[in-house]
Structure 1
């Protein structure tokens, strides 16, 4: 078979293309009427704005069909430009196959879809009388619908799938069906080849010992890699909504290993995945019997007055509450510094995740948590929805339509390694923080009877945000700088919630922005900050050293299991392997 046989003999005739044009026009009109009608039944539109958008849509649609009819059904060497006002189709990976632009039939499908997408998004902006949250929810839902109905998601309107099907004789669809049935069986979308990784062998494999175990966490003490270490140790609090080893992936990406190589004593909490026995846990437990308990444990073990701390995402939110509690009790000197990775305390601009906290979602949460804990697959699905195009539909095409083998990718393996959450605490977190924003209201929340006021925190703080973070938007993370009373260094890292944090210097990727001058707003910071290529990790190491860089020999309790707390088992411990 000749190379061109896969395309040219199967091209529709001009008459067939014209018939398809008519059918697409009818389908397009039906979609428009349905979308506008569904929204219009519940929300009022600005009639004049809708009329202008519809007129523009009709004009652009007519021009699009005219280009198709006058093309004579011939293949083009150069693609047509995307319709005015549409998304940047040239950068859209869904339409990377040249056939989307060079073949008139697929080009018509692509541009019709982009035109309709643009229309629907404009339509959501014409709603009158809706509060900002309702409007944001409408736009999020519209974006989700648009992503779902993309022609790239369907076998017979995706030229790459059509070609693969012809080449393989349909084997790709059979393999894709197997992949889909396997995902349905486990109740979760697969992103990577899980057989390529084993926790403790080639992921979460930094040497160390579990030296303490409670019903809530295991404390890991990592083996030093230098003869001398900083006197003040580092205690890391990972988010309990994920497995801790996002900070200990492969050795090349491991923040834990890198910190050890910098001469830092590293301790880390491995949270237990929730089960029915944890149904009554609340925030007090994660603060008092989690973070405060671990701080005191490490201090007493090493005989030091204070520890450096890191809190990632929700554990950073809890770290802020922990610092406020210690300050209120006159114990702030137990923590020498606090580093916040993509952490929020003020949830007034918390991004799309705040759209999942209405009454209906809370009722669904109750139903899903009847056993006292929330299955981690629900949270994984929620995070996938925030980036549906990349984390859902991209894999629907690759896994189910193209039947491709799963690539081995440690970060995606971690992303699919879900953790269960205590139902009571998770619901309180969503309502008290995300919905009611009580943490930034002085004395609105209490821990063990002690009111919390973030303004009491004078601990030196290093705050990292991701420029493209969709879970903790940079403008939301920035607000933390406005609620602390101590010295603060803020840096804005390139990329998002994960890659913006897990960016080792050896990779030479991305960049970060920083300034030594305090700024009032994030916009002021961006205007004044200096860009530095590569990882921000060395900047953090310099900042930690500036707080006091005395060192001690690695002996006794500085070796895992060498002090009063004996080794229970090798890192990463059993909690991280519990499902």
Structure 2
């Protein structure tokens, strides 16, 4: 029956049209690919519209320190909508609120009975030192402290664990809530901070006058583009970056410094250090007692260091790969000419380590065997767990930053510093305000804090490629990142790897640095040191309370996850520098007379004394 029906329909369709009827053809709907181009005037106006958008975004970005309001609003709406449709979570929060109010009321009652010396009902987090002073244990300041800590804990519960909220949005909302609470902490107000009140009574208010003068001085120095108070005591080339050496190569992006030997015989394999270009290179050559360069030369190594030029608006189109070619590869060419016939121990710090790993993978891909080993300090290769810095990484945020960078040509040092300070606002913002402006006390400047104030800029194109290719898309870990015109893979690296991370690193969390293990198909010696991103790396022998864990994982060994690794690796007292020096010595030849400074016959004549000219550029 079905066949007959189909045949009848076919015969009907084949009949000629009846007289008097006109059949209009059905118009074809063009596919997107076949649709006509937009009018020429629309094409001509497109750049204008983009320029207007970028100008508006850049103007807003300057007011928000580069933070995207759209990204924060998106995260807040995600959290708010899911919280509104989660009655179970709401009930939990109500019960927590009631319990905290009862705990606070009981604490207040105990304080009244014990004349203000009751045991606290909540303790601060281990890293929170705002309420360490015993004056905070006395009523009524103890009540203000306990109320704040309970409120802080409740808001953490409220902004986390809401079903359905994107993890990135949850982290951003929790971060924003923490910033608001930190700003409203009782420690920040002179009339609710017992330490400030006590100092005001003791000095007759002189601390507040001194603090006001400090604030005015800081504002004036910031407006004039000067370094913070005390940084002038550490001039580059006189107090820091004083290891003797010569500049033996220079191009538009780097100066290469060859350091003078301090012993009569050195290992034949030179060491090339690639620092990050977010800051000046001399974090690894601070004052002599804190200088990694001085330590290495004392251990019998010929040391070379890249000093990056501070880019300006004219460098807006310098790419990430330009840093590899004109930086790492150009430096390798120079070192190979000055110390010919010997492989090179290459070491990279932070972003410099990431760049060095990309260069090493490209060299292995292309059959370049000039490396003897690869050392990476606080350097990430997989960015899926890059810590709280990912708060500032998203399509909305990067697009916002790109508009800002296009208008300036670079990302300014102060704009970068603002993001890093927010990550540790208690230590870097509010505690400083209390100390410098409410107590009227200046913290003595050290070589490390003076270096931290000597920031640089980043080219617009390079930084956008870095944020998108590495942080946002994780192209390096997934084998898509281009070096030259072809992608690279960390698994191509065959030389032994030494990777150092630090326990309290907020820039490159140690679990993120640990991901070198599944990525690299070679022996990996991993060190986990105490301290943070900078102080944990600048850890010379003799420093008190320094400690580290170290273990070598062979290429044939089975994988240990971070928790297993830390549980099975014993802790050693002291600096990790001697362990690295011993690791390098094991992979080096016997000592021999040191090489000459530079190689004029090969085009690498001495151009001047260390630390060179680029490091002095503002």
Scaled to the shorter chain, the TM-score interval is 0.7 to 0.9
1:279-358 matches, within 5 Å, as 279-331=316-368, 333-358=369-394
Q: Confirm or deny: 8 A CA contact 1:183 1:190 kept in the other structure.
A: no
Confirm or deny: 8 A CA contact 1:87 1:118 kept in the other structure: no
Matches within 5 A, 1:115-514: 115-185=150-220, 186=222, 193-331=230-368, 333-369=369-405, 370-442=407-479, 444-514=480-550
Identify the match of residue 93 of structure 1 among 129, 137, 140.
129
Out of 575, 578, 581, the residue aligned to residue 541 of structure 1 is: 581
The offset of 1:73, in angstroms, is 8.8
**Partners of 2:274 and 2:155 in 1: CA distance:** 42
2:248·2:605 contact (CA, 8 Å) conserved in 1? Answer: yes
| Shift, 1:48, TM fit | 2.2
Alpha-carbon offset, residue 521 of structure 1: 1.5
TM-score (norm 1): 0.87
Other structure's SS at 2:514 match: helix
Q: For the residues of structure 1 that align with 2:187 and 2:506, how far apart are their CA atoms?
A: 24
Structure 1 pair 67–555 and aligned structure 2 pair: CA distance change class (3 A): closer
Contact 1:222–1:265, Cα closer than 8 Å, also in 2: yes
The structure-2 alpha-carbon separation of the partners of 1:381 and 1:562, relative to structure 1 and needing over 3 Å to count, comes to farther
Q: Which secondary structure state, in structure 1, belongs to the residue aligned with residue 374 of structure 2?
A: strand
- Aligned CA distance change for structure 1 residues 74 and 524 (closer, same or farther; 3 Å): closer
In the alignment, the residues of structure 1 paired with residue 499 and residue 267 of structure 2 have an alpha-carbon distance, to the nearest angstrom, of 21
CA contact (8 A) 2:104 2:121 kept: no
Give, in angstroms, the shift of residue 509 of structure 1. 3.2
Q: How does 1:12-31 map to 2 (within 5 A)?
A: none
Q: How many residues align?
A: 535
**Structure 1 stretch displaced more, 46-55 or 562-571:** 562-571
Per mean C-alpha deviation after superposition, the further-off stretch among 512-521 and 496-505 is 512-521
Using the alignment, how far apart are the partners of 1:38 and 1:66 within structure 2? 36
Match of 2:95 among 49, 55, 80: 55
How far off is 1:44 after superposition? Answer: 2.2
TM-score by length of 2: 0.82
SS at match of 2:83: coil
Higher Cα radius of gyration: 2
Structure 1 pair 285–127 and aligned structure 2 pair: CA distance change class (3 A): same
Q: Distance in 2 between matches of 1:43 and 1:56?
A: 19
The equivalent residue for 1:12 is none
Question: Aligned partners of 2:595, 2:161: CA distance in 1, in Å?
Answer: 68
Of residues 95, 113, 124, the one that matches 2:148 is: 113
Do the aligned partners of residues 568 and 54 (structure 1) sit closer, same or farther apart at CA in structure 2, a change above 3 Å counting?
A: same
Residue 529 of structure 1: how far off its partner (Å): 1.0
CA RMSD of aligned residues (A): 2.3
1:219 Cα deviation after fit: 0.6
Cα distance in structure 2, aligned partners of 1:326 and 1:167: 65
Confirm or deny: 8 A CA contact 2:79 2:170 kept in the other structure.
no
Gaps of 5+ in 1: 1-36
Once the two structures are overlaid, the 10-residue window that deviates more, 124-133 or 559-568, is 559-568
CA contact (8 A) 2:271 2:344 kept: yes
Cα distance change of structure 1 residues 51 and 191 upon mapping to structure 2, 3 Å threshold: farther
Please give the alpha-carbon distance, in whole angstroms, between the structure 2 residues aligned to 1:67 and 1:441.
Answer: 53
* C-alpha distance 287-245 of structure 1, shift in aligned 2 (>3 A): same
The offset of 1:360, in angstroms, is 3.8
Comparing 198-207 with 54-63, which one deviates more in the overlay? 54-63
Q: Would you say the 8 A contact 2:199–2:439 is kept in 1?
A: yes
**Residues 534 and 48 of structure 1: CA distance in aligned 2, closer, same or farther (over 3 Å):** same
Q: CA deviation at 1:74?
A: 7.3
Is 2:603 the counterpart of 1:567? no
Q: Structure 1 residues 171, 54: closer, same or farther in 2, change over 3 A?
A: same
Instruction: Show CA shifts across 1:40-79 (max 9, x none).
Output: 6454253223323322322332342354356449754x45
Say if 1:432 and 1:321 are closer, same or farther in 2 by CA, change over 3 A. same
- What SS does the aligned partner of 1:95 have? coil
> In the aligned structure 2, how far is the partner of 1:490 from the partner of 1:66?
49
- 2:459 and 2:484 map into 1 onto residues whose CA distance is 19
8 Å Cα contact 2:481-2:487 kept in structure 1: yes
2:592 pairs with 1:529: no
The structural deviation recorded for 1:195 is 2.6
C-alpha deviation, 1:399, in angstroms: 1.2
Q: Describe the superposition over 1:540-571 as per-residue Cα deviations: whole angstroms up to 9, x where unpaired.
A: 111111112322212534x7989863322221
Q: Equivalents in 1 of 2:543, 2:470: separation in Å?
A: 36
Which residue of structure 2 aligns with residue 33 of structure 1?
A: none
Q: Is the 8 A contact 2:79 2:169 kept in 1?
A: no
Q: CA contact under 8 A between 2:259 and 2:303: conserved in structure 1?
A: yes
